[in-house]
A and B are shown apart, each in its own frame.
Chain A
Amino acid sequence: MIPSLPRSLVSRCANIGYVGAFFVFLFVPLVVVAVFAFNDANYPAPPWRGFTLNWFVGSSGGRIGLFGDAPLVKSVATSAIVACWVTALSIAFGAANAFLLERARFRGKTALSMLMLAPLVIPGVILGISILAFASRLAQFANDFLGIEIDFLRPGLPLVVLGQFSYIVSIATLTIAARLKRFDITLEEAAFNLGASRRDVFLTIMLPHLKPALVGAGAIAFLMSFENFNTTLMLVGSDAPLTIMMYGRMREGASPVLNAVSLFLMVASMLLALALLRRPERTDVSRALP
């Protein structure tokens, strides 16, 4: 059971074997994706036919590599734009909510804080359809009674941003509120006593204290937005973000260019993860992991 108790050799080996198998299970799909991005064949399947970079830079012979595949590159850009909006909105709203939960007192606060967690237990597909239906009703209303056409309420990127934001902001709120809870209020009082203005206190004391949580919440918001599928699927218009584009291509058939873009994503998200995990304030990040 635990190291301080006598354990037989068999049980030790079984332990290590199990953990080994567990990590093989976790990593095999990713390794396979990465390896077949370099296979010199038109189909991501064994056998190994030699090393090639065609699936990244190729532009001839029916092999369009990742960087030559305009729709794919455009979908990466679309995802990045959506993720930037979601991140900015989530940090702003999350910080406001954190102050509301930690500093303000009003009736109905418990109910409100519960409601703030609700988006995390609503399946993403349902968040998507409810926002789709509601936005379309508003657009219909504006059209029928005011005679104006509101484009951003029709399926498209603005709705995708709102749909992803609707639950990612819950996570940002939790992360930032947890950090704000640990803020020592006497620091703020001392600063006021020493004659600092509200603005000074906010910029020199509060903001540096909150910074790790803001950065962590932002990184998680960006990543979750970039990877979101369920909510996006329901709200997407003609501009497909990367996950939707990949899904469409995976249904049509396989091409190693998908492996190439996947490898690109893996490297990018690992770099982001490592950068965050190396930060001293790692607790804020690991606590708020999706």
Chain B
Amino acid sequence: MADRLRSRTTATLAGDLVAPHMRLALFLLLAPALLWLLGLIVLPHVDLAVLSLRTRVAPRTYELGFGNYRTFIDEPLYWHTFVRTAVMSIFATVCTLLIAFPAAWYIAKIARGRAKSLLFVMCLIPFWVSETVRTLGWMILLRESGVLPRLLVELGITAKPVELLYHDTTILVGLVYTSMLFMVVPLVSALESLDDSLIEAAYDLGGNGLSILRQIVIPHAAPGIAAGSIIVFMLTLGNYLTPTLLGGKNSLWFTEQIYTQFITRFNWEQGAAFGFLLLVLSTAIVWLGLVVTGQKFGDVMRRS
């Protein structure tokens, strides 16, 4: 591929005309990119696809076919987990959007001057800290002997401490928390570019809060909403740490199935099939999000 790209080169660096030494320079610049993309992205994924199509029929004997994918369909646990992960990820994305939007609005439109940049930086700070640390915080807050159950007892709301970990809601809280930054940043930048005079004009023309939000703010912020949602969804779907630690044994997250097949059971063929299914789902939803909102992939990634 490198040779093909090189031989088709038309013009090159800094607008110079094609000269042998410039071709060499182009090749030298292409080499790291190709090494990275072919060696670590393209070939491993092709290999993963091939691996997922092999079925173990006897020790060290394999045959080609869709056996691993059939196992996925035949075994309810697997596809239940898959559907559950997808649905909960969508739900978590919607919750993140609903919680982040008013905060982003306040930062972009209401706060002024130093308060504005201070609030924005305060949104970023928790995310400079590792996800492991943030999850540890939630575990200390929510476990039966933790801070929140104790607070509930002392306020007289519950008679004795309740276990707040290991519920679906706990997983959801953790996922929303972990994804917040990736929603707030694109929303703030989208809302900042909305001219206040448009809102004033709409108000003067008799618009109320709801109609202004629906007809002016949301259409304007759509690219930011799309960018944030796509990234949050993707990260949530691929998350491993938060569901396993906050959900415990009941978390049933699909990345956990991949881990189990790959590392615990050493059934790489099955794990590869699961990995591919997750990749297809993730790509499909990202693509769908881009098509529905009419966005370009490159713009979305640069915006976030």
Interface residues of A (CB under 8 A from B): 1-5, 15, 18-19, 22-23, 25-33, 36, 43-47, 92-93, 96-97, 99-100, 103-108, 112-126, 129-134, 137, 162-163, 165-166, 169, 174, 178, 185, 188, 223, 226-227, 229-230, 233-234, 243, 246-247, 250-251, 254, 258-259, 262, 265-266, 269-270, 272-273, 277, 286, 289-290
Q: How far is the CB of B303 from chain A (nearest CB, A)?
A: 9
Q: A121-B234, A277-B121 are in contact. Are A28 and B40 (CB under 8 A)?
A: no
Given contacts A30-B137, A233-B259, contact A121 B282 (CB under 8 A): yes
For A5, the chain B residues whose CB sits under 8 A away are 199-200, 203
Q: Is B10's CB under 8 angstroms from A2's CB?
A: no
What are 24 contact pairs spanning A and B, CB under 8 A?
A1-B109, A1-B209, A22-B99, A28-B141, A93-B33, A97-B33, A103-B13, A105-B9, A106-B26, A116-B37, A117-B297, A121-B283, A123-B234, A125-B255, A126-B279, A129-B48, A130-B44, A130-B45, A133-B48, A134-B44, A185-B14, A243-B130, A262-B133, A270-B125
- What is the minimal beta-carbon distance from A46 to any residue of chain B, in angstroms? 5
B200 and A250 form a contact (CB under 8 A): no
CB within 8 Å for A265 and B130 given contacts A30-B137, A125-B255, A169-B36: yes
**Which chain B positions have C-beta within 8 A of A36?**
140
Within 8 Å of chain A (Cβ to Cβ): is B83? no
- List the B side residues contacting A119 at CB < 8 Å: 41
- B23 to chain A minimum Cβ distance, whole angstroms, is 10
A-B contact count (CB 8 A): 275
Pick from B29, B125, B135, B196: contact of A104, CB under 8 Å: B29
Please give, as numbers and ranges, the residues of chain A lying within 8 Å of B44 by CB-CB distance: 130-131, 133-134
Contact partner, B128, options A113, A188, A229, A270, Cβ 8 Å = A270
Instruction: Please classify how large the interface on chain B is, using the bins under 10, 10 to 19, 20 to 34, 35 or more.
Output: 35 or more
A143 CB, nearest partner CB in chain B, Å:
15
**Closest Cβ–Cβ distance, residue B171 to chain A (whole Å):** 15
B residues neighboring A (CB under 8 Å):
5, 8-14, 26, 29-30, 32-33, 36-37, 40-45, 47-48, 51, 99, 102-103, 106, 109-110, 112, 119, 121-141, 143, 145-147, 150, 177, 180-182, 185, 196, 199-200, 203, 209, 212, 234, 237-241, 245, 255, 258-259, 262-263, 268, 271-272, 275, 278-279, 282-283, 286, 297-298, 301-302
A45 touches B133 (CB 8 A): no
B37/A115 in contact, CB under 8 A: yes
Judge whether B140 and A106 touch: CB under 8 Å.
Answer: no
Complex Cα–Cα for A75 and B209 (A): 53
* Measured CA separation A99–B33 after assembly (Å): 11
Contact check: which of A25, A28, A247 meets B245 at CB < 8 Å? A247
CA distance in complex: A208, B196 (Å): 38
Q: How far is the CB of B35 from chain A (nearest CB, A)?
A: 8
Q: How far is the CA of A89 from the CA of B91 in the complex (A)?
A: 37
Q: Which of B48, B146, B182, B286 contacts A45 (CB 8 A)?
A: B146
Asked if B130 and A44 make an inter-chain contact with CB atoms under 8 angstroms apart, the answer reads: no
Q: Please state if B10 and A105 are interface contacts (CB–CB under 8 Å).
A: yes
What is the bound-complex CA distance between A108 and B258, given in angstroms? 34
Closest CB in chain A relative to B199 CB, distance in Å: 6
Determine the distance from Cα of A259 to Cα of B131 in the docked complex, in whole angstroms: 13
Whether B133 lies near A123 (C-beta < 8 A) is no
C-alpha spacing A41/B72, complex, angstroms? 47
By a CB distance below 8 angstroms, the chain A residues around B133 are 30, 33, 246, 262, 265-266
